[in-house]
Structures are given as C-alpha cells and as structure tokens.
Amino acid sequence: MPNVITSHFVKAVAVKIGNSRGIRIPKVVFEQCGIGDEVSMDIHNQKLVISQTSNAHEGWAESFQTMAKLGDNSLTVHDAEPDSSWIEAEWEWVG
C-alpha cells in the first residue's frame, strides 16, 4: 500500500515575545508531526521548516545492555589512553 501524504494549511499570527517573535502551533499539528517539546528549524528557499529533533543517543542504552550481556563491553586498544611520548621527543618546549 503506498504512503498517503496529506497536507493541511494552518494560518498563524506572529506575536512579539521580548525582542523575538513567535507563533502558536496547534497541539494537533504537533501530534500529527510526532513533535515533542524540542524542534529543529531549517530554512530552505526562504521557507521555515520545523521538524521533530532526532535523538542521536536513541537506542544507546539498549545497545549497551546487549553489549554487556555478550561480554563486548571491555576497553580495546583504540579506547586506551593514546601514546603521547612523541610530544617530548619531537617538540621543543620554550618557556
């Protein structure tokens, strides 16, 4: 079944909020877009695009739990403290 895209036109009045301006977005619009308390705003071709924010860490807790169960949660060579001995050998410190 193909995705059905519906479009709704909603008109809003910009109001002064301190030195800024704001608009009220109806609750139903937030719900239909799946938007929570935080939004992303982008400008494309002089149009403001408001969308839900993506949570970059979403699912991390579950992934870490799975890693722990599989014993895949120990430090590797890449996670260890980097070798900085070259700093003393190759740099000339003045001071």
Per-residue pLDDT tens for 14-73?
Answer: 999 999 999 988 888 888 888 888 888 899 899 988 888 877 677 888 888 888 888 877
Tell me whether residue 51 is in a domain.
yes
Tell me whether residue 18 is in a domain.
yes
* Residues of the domain holding 47: 1-73
Instruction: Please give the pLDDT value at position 2.
Output: 46
Q: What is the CATH number of the domain that holds 19?
A: 2.10.260
Return the C-alpha torsion angle 40, 43, 47, 53, nearest 10.
-10
Instruction: Give the C-alpha separation, 86 to 92, whole Å.
Output: 11
* Phi/psi-derived region of residue 43, left when phi > 0, alpha when psi is between -120 and 50, beta in every other case: beta
For 59-93, write each residue's pLDDT tens digit. 888 888 888 888 877 766 665 667 777 777 777 76
Instruction: State the total domains in the chain.
Output: 1
Nearest one of 35, 29, 37 to 52, comparing CA atoms: 35
pTM of the predicted model over 0.85: no
